[in-house]
Structure formats: structure tokens, C-alpha cells
Structure 1
Amino acid sequence: MEMDRLMTLTRATGVDDPIEGLAATAELRSELERLEAVLVRRARVRGCTWTEIATVLGVSKQAVHKKHGRSALFGRRNA
């Protein structure tokens, strides 16, 4: 998704129609999750540790590894 689209969605969250704002929020959240996954993958490829990534995201190492670890990359989630 292009930066212009992200900005459009961000602006749309502040509209008068709450349903329109909620729809924009849901789409923005989905796109931000995808972007986070891409950036975490990129950081790991460049040698960043799970601890470094977790610190930047403000979560525990275990949380970031559970969300973005090897099984998550291949579409498998632990129950």
C-alpha cells in the first residue's frame, strides 16, 4: 500500500460518519499489521535480534517471536 493511501485512511478516521471512520480504522490496522510483519522480517534478515525488535515495538521478546517467528512466517500458529 502506498503512503498516500495510508494518509487517506488516517484522515478518514476523523470523519463525521462513525461507520466510515471505523471502516477506515479497520483497513488501516490491517495494513499496519502487514507493514510491521514486513519490517520485522527485514530486521531479522539484517541480523537484528528478537530482543532489539521487541524493544522497539514495546513488547516482550516472547511476544514478538510468537507473533512473527518462524511458524508465523509459514502461516502456522500455535493454539
Structure 2
Amino acid sequence: MDVRQSTRAAASVADDDPLVGPAGVARLRAETEHAGAVPVRRTCRLGVTEQAVHKKHGARRPFGGRS
């Protein structure tokens, strides 16, 4: 998903149509999952286990919040 597609998906979240908003959320969630998995796969190719990556970086939350 490129920047334009991400922007359209983000804008669709606020759409009044009850079928459009959730679809936008699903697209953004899928893209977020994909974007988060890419660095993990890269480090695994370097010989670092996925578990070690998640142990080191998994507890970090943006803006200091909790999930």
C-alpha cells in the first residue's frame, strides 16, 4: 500500500457509510501488521530469532501508552 492508498484508507474510516468505515479500518490494520512484520523478517534473516526481537522491542508503545 502506498502513501495515497493509506491516506484514502485513513479518510474512509470517518465515512458516514457503515460499510466503508470498517473496511478502511481493516485495510489500515492489515497494512500496519505487514509493516511491523517486515523488520522482524529482516532480522530473522540475519540470524536473530523472532522471539528475541519481540522481547527487545515488543514492550515499546508509542507515546508511552499501554495497549
TM interval, shorter chain, is 0.5 to 0.7
Matched residue SS, 2:36: helix
What value does the CA root-mean-square deviation take over the aligned residues? 2.6
Q: Is the 8 A contact 1:43 1:53 kept in 2?
A: no
Q: Which runs of 5+ in 1 are unaligned?
A: 59-79
Alpha-carbon spacing, 1:56–1:40, altered in 2? closer, same or farther (3 Å): farther
Corresponding residue number in structure 1 for 2:56? 52
Q: Given that residues 9 and 28 in structure 1 are in contact (C-alpha distance below 8 angstroms), is that contact kept between their aligned partners in structure 2?
A: yes
Once residues 47 and 14 of structure 2 are traced to their aligned partners in structure 1, the CA distance between those partners, rounded to angstroms, is: 39
Residue aligned with 1:18, SS: coil
Which runs of 4 or more aligned residues in structure 1 lie more than 2 Å from their structure 2 counterparts after TM superposition? 39-52, 55-58
| TM-score of the pair, normalised by structure 2 | 0.63
Aligned residues: 58
- The 2-side partners of 1:2 and 1:22 are apart by 20
Partner of 1:5: 5
Amino acid at match of 2:23: A
Q: How does 1:10-29 map to 2 (within 5 A)?
A: 10-29=10-29
Q: d(CA) in 1 for partners of 2:20 and 2:3?
A: 20
